[in-house]
Amino acid sequence: MIAEIGHFALILALGVALAQTILPIWGAQRGDYTLMRVGVPAAQVQLCLLLLAFFALMTAYVTSDFSLLNVVQNSHSAKPLLYKISGVWGEPRRLHAPLGADSGIVRGRRGCVWAQPAA
């Protein structure tokens, strides 16, 4: 049941992310400040939903819920608790590299766009 709650939280987070993207732009186009102010609360709701999904996945790892493919592929019932908890964070890190999250911009290599010019 906890895994389904995590899945539902991810689906809701996707909906909130779409609302966070579309509504402020639409409000800026129409000049509606109420729609423009939707962005910050939507980001906060999205953060809470993603944390809920993450903790649902962590619970599945800690309790060795082998009904989830991710847990089956990356966990074992004989692992110590600390390894199970760190395995939750380690698996998404492997997914970030192909998606470009470990690019030079994030790590500060090859001319970071957020670098301040020398005075």
What are the pLDDT digits (tens) for 53-100?
A: 999 988 988 898 888 887 888 778 888 888 887 777 766 555 544 444
> What CA–CA distance (Å, rounded) separates 30 from 2?
41
What is the reported pTM? 0.69
> Among 101, 106, 103, which residue's Cα sits nearest to residue 114?
106
Q: Where are the domains of the chain?
A: 2-84
Helix axes 2-30, 39-62, angle to 10 degrees: 170
